[in-house]
Structure 1
Amino acid sequence: MMTTHNGAAAHNFTLRRNSFGRLVFVDAEGVAHEGAIPVRAFPIGAPDEGIALVSAEGHELAWIDQWSDISVELRSIIEEELAAREFMPQISRIVGVSSFATPSIWEVETNRGNTSFTLKGEEDIRRLPNSALLIADSHGIQFLIRDTKALDKHGRKILDRFL
């Protein structure tokens, strides 16, 4: 059994995959919850802190304050599930844009390779704390710029035209 802490209360549970590859959360009483989903409380600001395991119906089954609260095996299962659910490429360089008017096509380098996407409007660029930005493309894919100050001068100039 795995243990995690939620304040003073401790929760014992196991986590496994069923024959369809879905997560099954088994609580301390032996009740199985098929289709459990890990959810980060702060996916951008503190991705390794505050992870909830919720039922398919959205009810919290367990809370994990930090990765160090759980076993390596459990962490591996949860990280694998999060990676499959969360697709948020991080932009490391803005190569160029087709136009400073929207919609425009952006050419970028990300941690997942080079790509291009269409920015429909300036409202699809959202400011986050600590000089971070979240950019939604025309298909709803979220691109993250973790720190605008870390971009090269060319990339910062392009961003300034849209912000």
Structure 2
Amino acid sequence: MSTHASQAFTLARTPFGKLLLSFADGTRHEGVVPVRAFPISAPDRGIALVSTDGKELVWIAQLADLDAAARQLVAEELGSREFMPQIQRIRSVSGFTTPSVWEVDTDRGPTAFTLKGEEDIRRLAAPMLLIADSHGVQYLIRDFAALDRPSRKLLDRFL
């Protein structure tokens, strides 16, 4: 059963913290999971609510289409499942050959990670970059040009 956000449904949390999707006809699905179609380029558009067996139950064209309570529940659930810090500043790089240790400031605080190889820096839709550390954590640079000059200069050495 695939549907659209225009079909009446409600979202709530169970006492165990799982999302409960209920339709107007009385059908209920416990443990639904929101999944973004385009998590980087369009994080607030194209979100599916899928069942525990991976079937799409609801397609949400835009997060803004939901009422405030449902929007908050979906945002909380996405936030707890997705971890992609955004790099705001590159403080230092241990060397210009890989592997190298990067010290950065992110939207989640300062951190350090090891870049295994230059191939772990991927260009996405301009002006975004995605950097994978040696543990598989993905770091996003949303706008390369918006970084401060010293950060851009360090990053340029790897691009």
Assess same fold via TM > 0.5: yes
Structure having the higher strand fraction is 1
Instruction: Give RMSD over aligned pairs.
Output: 1.6
In the alignment, the residues of structure 2 paired with residue 120 and residue 68 of structure 1 have an alpha-carbon distance, to the nearest angstrom, of 39
In the alignment, the residues of structure 1 paired with residue 108 and residue 20 of structure 2 have an alpha-carbon distance, to the nearest angstrom, of 30
In the alignment, the residues of structure 2 paired with residue 71 and residue 130 of structure 1 have an alpha-carbon distance, to the nearest angstrom, of 32
- Please report how far the alpha carbon of residue 64 of structure 1 lies from its aligned counterpart in structure 2 after TM superposition: 1.0
In the alignment, the residues of structure 1 paired with residue 14 and residue 8 of structure 2 have an alpha-carbon distance, to the nearest angstrom, of 19
**1:61-140 equivalence runs, <5 A:** 61-140=57-136
- Please report how far the alpha carbon of residue 99 of structure 1 lies from its aligned counterpart in structure 2 after TM superposition: 1.3
In the alignment, the residues of structure 2 paired with residue 46 and residue 10 of structure 1 have an alpha-carbon distance, to the nearest angstrom, of 20
Give unpaired runs (5+ residues) of structure 1: none
In the alignment, the residues of structure 1 paired with residue 22 and residue 121 of structure 2 have an alpha-carbon distance, to the nearest angstrom, of 40
- Please report how far the alpha carbon of residue 119 of structure 1 lies from its aligned counterpart in structure 2 after TM superposition: 0.9
- Residue of structure 1 equivalent to 2:29: 33
- Residue of structure 1 equivalent to 2:6: 10
In the alignment, the residues of structure 2 paired with residue 56 and residue 137 of structure 1 have an alpha-carbon distance, to the nearest angstrom, of 30
Size of the alignment, in residue pairs? 157
In the alignment, the residues of structure 1 paired with residue 12 and residue 145 of structure 2 have an alpha-carbon distance, to the nearest angstrom, of 42
2:66 matched to 1:52?
no
The one-character-per-residue Cα deviations of 1:87-145 (angstroms, maximum 9, x if unpaired) are 11110111111111111110001111111011111121111112110111111111100
Residue type of the alignment partner of 2:128: A
3-state secondary structure, aligned to 2:7: strand
3-state secondary structure, aligned to 2:43: coil
In the alignment, the residues of structure 2 paired with residue 132 and residue 17 of structure 1 have an alpha-carbon distance, to the nearest angstrom, of 35
Residue type of the alignment partner of 1:14: T
- Please report how far the alpha carbon of residue 11 of structure 1 lies from its aligned counterpart in structure 2 after TM superposition: 1.9
- Say which is worse superposed, 69-78 or 9-18, in terms of deviation: 9-18
TM-score (norm 2): 0.91
